[in-house]
Amino acid sequence: MRPIQTQNGRSHILYDAELPIHAEPALFDPAAWRRRGQLLGSARGRGETAFVSDGTHEYVLRHYRRGGLPGRLVHDSYLWTGLERTRAWREWQLTAELQRRGLPVPHPVAARVERHGLFYRADLITLRIPAARSLAQVLGDAPLPAGRWQAVGACIRRFHDAGVHHADLNAHNILLSGDDIYLIDFDRGRLRAPGAWQQGNLARLLRSLRKLYNESLDVAFSDADWQALLAGYGAS
């Protein structure tokens, strides 16, 4: 990985120069990818996500949007307190560091921050993990074997042992691809010393799984599944 930082007008871009990309504003514009016939699809969650391909690689483009009540008022603007403190910059750098440590995360491709006076908007691009589905999607199709739940727990433990505090650990941010398990979306994540936050992470994930189960009878999740996850977490 070779991080390079550029500026084009009010746009600041941080990217991996080892990847075959052009670090320009159009890189972050789903409409530009659509015009070239390279837009694969999109999804809407807390942010706006587009899936694109340049013929060699597939990428995930995410535009940062606020959630909750603030999101109804200011949508996608954040207070400017310096480039290094912007959400996209921090997430790109944290994800790059986690990859350097050998943790299963998506490869960070590029981040863009556009400053508008006292505020900024931001975008992040990562490599798309091949054939990956979220834990939430998988549970909507069929129960997960106990061994896979244990593997999920072991994966989370790897991150915790490395001091990685995932700010939004939920069933949508855990991806399964074949035998591999990844964590994604490190917005507001950080490296911390061990503490109560680790159990808080697990509690947040449990709430997410119970919410999925309560909202859809098609979601397969039980107390035995959670105990299998905890067994994998504790055995690591």
Question: Could you list the active site residues?
Answer: 168
Q: Which amino acid is at 156?
A: I
How far is residue 196 from each of residues 88, 158, 199, measured CA to CA in Å? 26, 16, 6
Token readout for 44 is 């809407």
Q: Tell me the residue ranges of DSSP E strands in 18-159.
A: 39-44, 48-53, 58-63, 78-79, 108-116, 119-127, 133-134
Per the rule left: phi > 0, alpha: psi between -120 and 50, beta: everything else, 28 is: alpha
191: which residues sit within 8 A by CB, 6+ positions away?
A: 94, 97, 162, 163, 164, 165
Residue 193, token pair as written in the block: 């010393």
Query: Is residue 146 within 8 Å of 221, Cβ to Cβ?
Result: no
The amino acid that residue 209 corresponds to is L
Taking the C-alpha atoms of residue 208 and residue 180, their distance in angstroms, rounded to an integer, is 21
Over its C-alpha atoms, the chain yields an Rg (Å, rounded) of: 18
